Amino acid sequence: GGPAIVAAAGNGAHKPVPGAGADAGAAFVLESKGTWWHAGFHLTTAIVGPTVLTLPYALRGMGWALGITTLSLIAAVTFYEYSLMSRVLDHCEARGRRHIRFRELAADVLGSGWMFYFVVIVQTAINTGVSIGSILLAADCIEIMYSSLAPNGPLKLYHFIIIVAVVLAFLSQLPSFHSLRHINLVSLLLSLGYTILVSAACIRAGLSKNAPAKFYSLSSSKSEQTFNAFLSISILASVFGNGILPEIQVTKRPKLCG
């Protein structure tokens, strides 16, 4: 774990510092010097992922009215949830317990014991699935670009899977989330660029005289409608179901508290 204890500062204020039993990683993270815009980089790149690119498909499966309503509802619930989580983190930090991991926060709020291990198991399962999916998706995208540039090239999909896995293994050795701030800034700029380009291309295609026929109606098959609705809900849930806020918030400088 990485609990913190309260130590008196020279001016009479108090600030959280690593406890004597904190592991080396926790002690390093608790010395972070990040700012709020660094946290913005991390939070944006944590949410803007492959699932965001599937949002148009989610709206296609639910229809404009239900899709936008569900998207807005889930976004509002997530904003409220993150607001509560942030307040709980601040509350714990003011009392000398600065959590750097979601599982520690859950154990503090819900009680230690089996809840701690339950959160660990759930997080491990989610991280494993996301890691495998991200590697495969990144490798597939690189292969598509490679095939466009070199149609007869010798490299295959498994080569790119190995390359992506090696790069991610290297990045995983960085000592803290704060160490990724420059990489996440580049990722943020790329995401903004992609969004701008795709939006401009869609507007141009919609205004073009030669644009393909538009079809916004749902499928006539009831079973397909049901399947698409559940698939769309799972996409929306995966976009906003992100509990990485404690790890991101702890990259900021510790706040002084009386």
Q: Is residue 250 part of a domain?
A: no
254's CB contacts (< 8 A; 6+ apart) are 15, 16, 17, 30, 32, 93, 98
What is the residue range of 14's domain?
A: 4-242
Residue that wins the pLDDT comparison between 45 and 255: 45
Is the Cα torsion angle 21, 25, 28, 34 positive or negative in sign?
Answer: negative
Long-range CB pairs of 22-25 (<8 Å, 24+ gap) are 25/175, 25/176
Percentages helix, strand, coil for the chain (3-state, rounded to 5) are 70, 5, 25
Question: Which range, of 30-34, 121-125, 227-231, 236-240, averages the lowest pLDDT?
Answer: 30-34
Q: Full-prediction pTM beyond 0.75?
A: no
pLDDT (0 to 100) of residue 243: 65
Q: Is residue 252 part of a domain?
A: no
Residue type, 108: D
Q: For residue range 166-211, what is the model confidence (pLDDT) as tens digits?
A: 998 888 887 777 777 888 888 888 888 888 888 898 888 888 888 7
Q: Is residue 253 part of a domain?
A: no
pLDDT at 18 over 50: no
3-class DSSP state of 113: coil
pLDDT (0 to 100) of residue 257: 44
How many domains does the structure of the chain reveal? 1
Q: Is residue 213 part of a domain?
A: yes
Q: Is residue 68 part of a domain?
A: yes
Q: Is residue 147 part of a domain?
A: yes
Cα 239-48-34 angle, rounded to 5 deg = 120
pLDDT (0 to 100) of residue 9: 31
Residue 8 pairs with which residues in a beta bridge?
14
3-class DSSP state of 34: strand
Residue that wins the pLDDT comparison between 216 and 74: 74
Q: Is residue 199 part of a domain?
A: yes
The overall average pLDDT reported for the chain is: 74
